[in-house]
């Protein structure tokens, strides 16, 4: 084979990036994946701030992996062994000779602390020295959004009449963000939040307008990632993920802030994907697994089959047809994942993995198994019963289950194969009723890996912690593949050409 002797353009220095309220690093993963034609990263994370210790461990692990990808293009084989073992032995991995230097760097990059007025002197000092070390006090990028529970529509309805709501400190956590902008003046910031931020009120005033005024006084213009031009209207900040190749209908407010007087190129906008990506495309190739019957010590395949047969019988009785019943047995975690074609496949799959991690089913009570089997079977037939439409045997024992005006009547929801999924939120860590797998044979809620795929985390992205913490982290994140596209817009503003390959 002939060697490519075309001289490569020398790479510019990476643009320093600081990630605040970093979660498991979804936003960061997208920005960090961008490389130029010479294979050099366009952004380099110099500090990530996060409060949750599990998410911090996830951030450190990923940061260590990136360290080696920057140098050798691949992660060390000990990392893949760790993944194949289902994430056992993190303490050993941290001191393994192949990974120790990466973890050392990660320890200084990931700052596990609560940002807030009391800790501001400490966080300021960390930001100051991180920027100094990376020569970037002028041109750098701030990413991340203050936590959103207080703005979220569900949070607001649950807390109607709660007198502490107006004083919730999360209303004012964005002030920490503002303080960083005022003191350190990044050239660009990207702030993500829930849609409720546009309509939320605090002390009688509209939060969004006051945030906008604050940002303008701090010296920033706001741009939209989807509508070109200056002075966008509030709805122009809403990004609908499903329009950008993400297999999920996640609608979030994402602000692009540009410092007054910067000489950056004007921001382009995101390019819409040619076709929507579906649940089936994202998770259909993963190995089939059997849900466990809870309690786990009483789990048995006989009990599981009984639940399935009953669920299908009930679905058939109410006018349905029955799906075939392949023998799927127990979990096959060592099976390689099926191929996903196109851009999503290139992004998610990793040949070196040779299998799939974090793909185990929760255990479900027999009644829930039956509900899942029944509802998935109905979804195959194009029906979508609400809580109150469930047959008597399956309706939960709630006083108002059949009341059409009761809240959360669609508390059980099957993700439809041929569409993008509904929004994956951190509530998935509490129960899986809203995330029922579309395959009636499997009769279960989504695994962590399936939720991660709908969020477009690559298959080699590992979430540290127990299963609850893993779901929580996945549900909190910005989809990395969307973040990559946001990063491309920002890279172009800095005049950087992005390669199609990833780090
Ligand atoms: C919506 S998530 C961020 C998701 C992240 N941008 C991503 O793409 O993965 C918000 C995060 O803020 C963290 N957080 C909440 N309060 C914080 C504080 N005071 N200081 C630092 N992090 C905080 C939460 O633990 C949570 O992980």
pLDDT in tens, 224-273: 999 998 889 999 999 999 999 999 999 999 999 999 999 888 879 999 99
- Length of the chain (residues): 503
Per-domain residue ranges for the chain? 15-276+476-493, 279-475
Q: What pLDDT band is residue 5 in, cutting at 50, 70 and 90?
A: low
Percent of the chain with pLDDT over 90: 68
Task: Please give the pLDDT value at position 333.
Answer: 40
Task: Please give the pLDDT value at position 184.
Answer: 97
Among all chains, which residue has been given the structure tokens 């059997």?
290
**Is the Cα torsion angle 188, 192, 195, 196 positive or negative in sign?**
negative
Task: Please give the pLDDT value at position 399.
Answer: 62
Task: Please give the pLDDT value at position 334.
Answer: 46
**pLDDT, tens digit (0-9, with 9 covering 90-100), for 444-468:** 999 999 999 999 999 999 999 999 9
Q: What is the rounded average pLDDT of the residues 115-136?
A: 94
Q: Which atom of ligand 1 is nearest to the CA of 52?
A: 25
Q: What is the rounded average pLDDT of the residues 132-139?
A: 86
Task: Please give the pLDDT value at position 323.
Answer: 54
Q: Which atom of ligand 1 is nearest to the CA of 478?
A: 8
Q: What pLDDT band is residue 317 in, cutting at 50, 70 and 90?
A: confident
Report CA-CA distances (Å) from 408 to 9, 128, 376, 390, 405: 56, 47, 19, 14, 9
Where is average pLDDT lowest: 149-163, 292-306, 354-368, 389-403?
149-163
Q: Which atom of ligand 1 is nearest to the CA of 173?
A: 19
**Is the Cα torsion angle 308, 394, 282, 358 positive or negative in sign?**
negative
Q: Which atom of ligand 1 is nearest to the CA of 19?
A: 6
295 cis-preceded (ω within 30 degrees of 0): yes
Judge whether 101 and 72 are in contact, CB under 8 Å.
no
Residue 47 CA to ligand 1 center (angstroms) comes to 14
- Characterize the bridge pairing of strands 201-202 and 188-194: unpaired
Report CA-CA distances (Å) from 108 to 63, 94, 130: 10, 14, 9
- Characterize the bridge pairing of strands 251-259 and 292-293: unpaired
How many other CB atoms are found less than 10 A from the CB of residue 404? 10
**Is the Cα torsion angle 327, 328, 334, 335 positive or negative in sign?**
positive
Residue 22 CA to ligand 1 center (angstroms) comes to 5
Judge whether 50 and 476 are in contact, CB under 8 Å.
no
Q: How many CA atoms lie within 13 A of 335 on its CB side?
A: 14
Residue 64 CA to ligand 1 center (angstroms) comes to 20
7: left (phi over 0), alpha (psi -120 to 50) or beta: beta
Report the mean per-residue pLDDT for the chain: 89
Q: What pLDDT band is residue 313 in, cutting at 50, 70 and 90?
A: confident
For residue 13, what is the DSSP state?
A: P
Indicate whether 488 pLDDT > 90. Answer: yes
Q: What pLDDT band is residue 387 in, cutting at 50, 70 and 90?
A: confident
Task: Please give the pLDDT value at position 407.
Answer: 61
Pick the closest to residue 416 from 397, 393, 439, 394 (CA basis).
439
Using DSSP, state whether 166 is helix, strand or coil: helix
Using DSSP, state whether 211 is helix, strand or coil: helix
Judge whether 231 and 286 are in contact, CB under 8 Å.
no
Where is average pLDDT lowest: 303-317, 397-411, 463-477?
397-411
Percent of the chain with pLDDT over 70: 86
Task: Please give the pLDDT value at position 266.
Answer: 81
Q: Residues near ligand 1 with C-beta < 6 Å?
A: 21-27, 49-52, 55, 114-116, 144, 147-148, 173, 192, 476-478
Where is average pLDDT lowest: 57-61, 132-136, 287-291, 402-406?
402-406
Q: What pLDDT band is residue 199 in, cutting at 50, 70 and 90?
A: confident
* φ and ψ at residue 373, rounded to 5 degrees: -65, -45
Rounded Cα distance, 395 and 380, in Å? 20
Judge whether 394 and 370 are in contact, CB under 8 Å.
yes
Pocket test for ligand 1, best of 32, 45, 51 (most atoms within 8 A of CB): 51
Please give the angle made by the CA atoms of 15, 16 and 17, to the nearest 5 degrees: 115
How many other CB atoms are found less than 10 A from the CB of residue 403? 12
Pocket test for ligand 1, best of 19, 49, 50, 179 (most atoms within 8 A of CB): 50
Tokens of 341: 């074609």
Pocket test for ligand 1, best of 18, 19, 21, 487 (most atoms within 8 A of CB): 21
SS (H, E, C) 429-472: HCCCCCCECCCCCCCCECCHHHHHHHCCCCCCCCCCCCHHHHHH
Percent of the chain that is helix, strand, coil (3-state, to 5): 40, 10, 50
Does the 15-276+476-493 domain belong in CATH 3.40.50.150?
A: yes
> How far, rounded to the nearest angstrom, does the alpha carbon of residue 147 sit from its chain's CA centroid?
14
Q: What is the rounded average pLDDT of the residues 56-68?
A: 98
Tokens of 428: 């998935």
Q: What is the rounded average pLDDT of the residues 82-87?
A: 96
DSSP 73-108: SS--HHHHHHHHTTS--HHHHHHSTTTHHHHHHHHH
Report CA-CA distances (Å) from 350 to 59, 77, 85, 459, 502: 19, 13, 16, 7, 12
Judge whether 127 and 180 are in contact, CB under 8 Å.
yes
Pocket test for ligand 1, best of 476, 481, 486, 487 (most atoms within 8 A of CB): 476
Q: What's the Rg (C-alpha) of the chain?
A: 24
Residue 473 CA to ligand 1 center (angstroms) comes to 9
Residue 157 CA to ligand 1 center (angstroms) comes to 22
In terms of DSSP H, where are the helices of 318-447?
342-348, 366-380
- The protein residue whose alpha carbon is closest to atom 13 in ligand 1 is 21
Among all chains, which residue has been given the structure tokens 């795929």?
453
In terms of DSSP H, where are the helices of 134-185?
153-158, 174-184
Indicate whether 406 pLDDT > 70. Answer: no
Residue 23 CA to ligand 1 center (angstroms) comes to 5
Among all chains, which residue has been given the structure tokens 């939120």?
425
Residue 380 CA to ligand 1 center (angstroms) comes to 37
Indicate whether 477 pLDDT > 70. Answer: yes
Name the residue with higher pLDDT: 409 or 270: 270
Q: Which atom of ligand 1 is nearest to the CA of 176?
A: 19
Among 279-283, 304-308, 335-339, 410-414, which range has the highest average pLDDT? 279-283
Q: What pLDDT band is residue 11 in, cutting at 50, 70 and 90?
A: confident
Indicate whether 56 pLDDT > 70. Answer: yes
Residue 27 CA to ligand 1 center (angstroms) comes to 11
- The protein residue whose alpha carbon is closest to atom 3 in ligand 1 is 23
Residue 355 CA to ligand 1 center (angstroms) comes to 30
- For helices 53-72 and 467-476, give the axis angle rounded to 10 degrees: 70
Pocket test for ligand 1, best of 17, 22, 117, 475 (most atoms within 8 A of CB): 22
Residue 407 CA to ligand 1 center (angstroms) comes to 28
Residue 110 CA to ligand 1 center (angstroms) comes to 13
Indicate whether 163 pLDDT > 70. Answer: no
Tokens of 427: 């509530």
* φ and ψ at residue 258, rounded to 5 degrees: -125, 125
Q: Which atom of ligand 1 is nearest to the CA of 483?
A: 8
**Is the Cα torsion angle 305, 334, 431, 421 positive or negative in sign?**
negative
Rounded Cα distance, 2 and 270, in Å? 37
Residue 293 CA to ligand 1 center (angstroms) comes to 34
């Amino acid at each position: 084979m002939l060697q490519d002797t075309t001289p490569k353009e020398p790479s510019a220095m990476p643009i320093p990036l600081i990630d605040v309220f970093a979660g498991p690093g979804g936003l960061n993963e997208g920005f960090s994946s961008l490389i130029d034609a010479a294979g050099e990263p366009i952004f380099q994370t110099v500090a990530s701030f996060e409060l949750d210790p599990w998410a911090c461990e996830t951030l450190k692990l990923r940061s260590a992996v990136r360290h080696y990808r920057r140098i050798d293009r691949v992660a060390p084989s000990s990392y893949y062994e760790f993944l194949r073992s289902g994430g056992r032995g993190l303490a050993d991995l941290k001191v393994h000779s192949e990974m120790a230097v990466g973890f050392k760097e990660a320890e200084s990059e990931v700052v596990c602390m609560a940002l807030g007025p009391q800790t501001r002197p400490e966080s300021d000092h960390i930001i100051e020295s991180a920027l100094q070390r990376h020569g970037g006090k002028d041109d750098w990028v701030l990413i991340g959004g203050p936590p959103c529970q207080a703005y979220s529509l569900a949070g607001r309805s649950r807390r109607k009449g709660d007198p502490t709501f107006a004083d919730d400190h999360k209303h004012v956590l964005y002030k920490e963000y503002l303080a960083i902008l005022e003191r350190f003046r990044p050239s660009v910031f990207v702030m993500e939040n829930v849609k409720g931020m546009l309509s939320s009120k605090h002390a009688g005033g509209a939060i969004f307008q006051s945030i906008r005024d604050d940002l303008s006084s701090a010296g920033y213009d706001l741009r939209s990632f989807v509508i070109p031009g200056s002075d966008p209207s509030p709805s122009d900040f809403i990004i609908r993920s499903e329009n950008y190749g993400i297999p999920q209908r996640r609608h979030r407010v994402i602000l692009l802030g540009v410092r007054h007087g910067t000489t950056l190129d004007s921001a382009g906008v995101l390019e819409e994907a040619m076709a929507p990506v579906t649940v089936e495309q994202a998770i259909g190739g993963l190995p089939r697994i059997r849900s466990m019957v809870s309690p786990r010590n009483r789990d048995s395949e006989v009990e599981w089959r009984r639940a399935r047969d009953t669920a299908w019988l009930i679905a058939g009785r109410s006018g349905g047809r029955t799906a075939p019943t392949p023998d799927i047995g127990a979990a096959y975690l060592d099976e390689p994942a099926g191929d996903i074609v196109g851009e999503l496949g290139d992004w998610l799959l990793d040949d070196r993995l040779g299998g799939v991690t974090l793909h185990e089913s929760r255990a479900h009570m027999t009644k829930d198994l039956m509900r899942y089997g029944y509802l998935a079977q109905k979804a195959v037939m194009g029906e979508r019963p609400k809580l109150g439409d469930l047959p008597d045997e399956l309706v939960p024992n709630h006083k108002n289950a059949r009341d059409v005006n009761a809240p959360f009547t669609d508390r059980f929801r099957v993700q439809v194969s041929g569409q993008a999924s509904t929004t994956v939120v951190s509530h998935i860590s509490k129960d899986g009723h809203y995330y029922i797998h579309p395959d009636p044979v499997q009769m279960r809620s989504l695994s962590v890996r399936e939720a991660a795929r709908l969020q477009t985390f690559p298959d080699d992205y590992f979430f540290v912690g127990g299963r609850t913490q893993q779901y929580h982290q996945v549900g909190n994140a910005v989809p990395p593949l969307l973040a990559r596209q946001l990063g491309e817009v920002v890279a172009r503003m800095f005049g950087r050409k992005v390669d199609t390959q990833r780090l």
